[in-house]
């Protein structure tokens, strides 16, 4: 495969919101760091990374989980595993046993921004209808099948629900307990158990993963490979005109920041269908403000490992 690296140019900036706690002491500007993560050639792994410690906090197979539950005390939203291209349809019935097919159902994917009113299932309290979940596909393209699920109660911070195959077989009742130290608690329909996929919400900044991006005209949910933000007090701005090396902390106040989970996203690279190669855009610079109040500038340098195998993003970053 052909590897293409452009000259390194870009811009990055970050501003602190008023509600953020001030740092206890002046921050020393960091050194420029180059690191990479290996997602595997089939993008089978999700990799959770912390810029402050320059560490891979954890990793998991994207097939390890199916849905996740909001773990905060004040929110009860449910998320699909968009890395599997999962989608869901809310049926018109509350009779769990009567639903045996997908006839007449309309499936939706979670929106890539993670905005809560654009989730396929959303807030479980909005309905007690039976929901059908298409679990999506393995990295090798094998369908993971359909399940029907009904969310029953949430009491004392514990979600309860039941699920089965459409014909009613493989029936299970389950619970998932909230834990405010995390953003979300996941659940696996394969192992029939809760599983803690995400690290502590204060322990990471970004996740390297496949996720579903919804294209429009026509509507087409499609798997892309990129970076999603930690939704806890993390925000990003992008600059495509200022050189990476010239960005400093003083200039970051001019940027508009986003908390959308795909604020970094996947468009820092381009896939050439003719050459079957990815090209990196190092002039796309991202300014990230983390949940500790630190500001970083970051851009990407490569998408291939030393053997020319795709799935290994290499990136350069610096604390400002």
Question: For the segment 125-173, what is each residue's pLDDT rounded down to a tens digit?
Answer: 766 899 999 999 999 999 999 999 999 999 999 999 999 999 999 999 9
Give the integer Cα–Cα distance in Å for 108 and 61.
23
In contact, 237 and 13? CB cutoff 8 Å: yes
Supply the pLDDT for residue 144: 98
Supply the pLDDT for residue 215: 95
What predicted TM-score, i.e. pTM, was given to this entire model?
0.90
Neighbour count for residue 309 (Cβ, 10 Å): 13
Supply the pLDDT for residue 28: 61
Give the integer Cα–Cα distance in Å for 71 and 58.
19
Whether 27 shows a pLDDT value over 70: the answer reads no
Residue with tokens 């896939």: 271
Neighbour count for residue 161 (Cβ, 10 Å): 21
Q: Where are the domains of the chain?
A: 33-61+205-319, 66-195
Residue among 316, 314, 313, 295 nearest 244 (CA): 316
């Amino acid at each position: 495969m052909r590897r293409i690296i452009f000259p390194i140019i870009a811009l990055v900036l970050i501003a602190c919101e008023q509600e953020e706690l001030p740092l206890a002491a002046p921050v020393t500007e960091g050194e420029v760091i180059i690191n990479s993560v290996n997602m595997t050639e089939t993008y089978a792994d999700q990799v959770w990374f912390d810029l402050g410690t320059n560490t891979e906090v954890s990793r998991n197979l994207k097939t390890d989980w199916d849905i996740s539950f909001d773990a905060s005390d004040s929110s009860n939203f449910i998320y699909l595993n968009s890395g599997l291209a999962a989608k869901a349809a809310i049926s018109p019935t509350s009779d769990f046993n009567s639903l045996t097919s997908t006839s007449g159902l309309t499936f939706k994917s979670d929106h890539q921004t993670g905005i809560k009113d654009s989730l396929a299932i959303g807030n479980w309290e909005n309905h007690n209808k039976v929901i059908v979940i298409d679990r999506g596909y393995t990295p090798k393209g094998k369908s993971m099948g359909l399940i029907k699920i009904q969310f029953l109660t949430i009491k004392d911070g514990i979600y309860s629900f039941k699920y089965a195959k459409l014909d009613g077989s493989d029936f299970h009742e389950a619970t998932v307990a909230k834990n405010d130290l995390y953003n979300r608690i996941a659940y696996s329909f394969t192992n029939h158990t809760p599983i803690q996929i995400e690290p502590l919400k204060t322990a990471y900044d970004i996740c390297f993963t496949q996720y579903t991006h919804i294209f429009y005209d026509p509507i087409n949910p499609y798997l892309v490979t990129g970076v999603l933000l930690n939704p806890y007090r993390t925000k990003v701005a992008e600059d495509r005109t200022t050189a990476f090396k010239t960005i400093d902390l003083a200039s970051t106040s001019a940027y508009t920041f986003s908390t959308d989970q795909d604020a970094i996203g996947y468009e820092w690279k381009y896939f050439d269908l003719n050459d079957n190669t990815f090209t990196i855009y190092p002039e796309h610079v991202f300014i990230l403000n983390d949940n500790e109040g630190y500001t970083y500038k970051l851009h990407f340098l490569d998408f291939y490992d030393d053997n020319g195998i795709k799935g290994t993003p290499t990136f350069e970053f610096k604390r400002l």
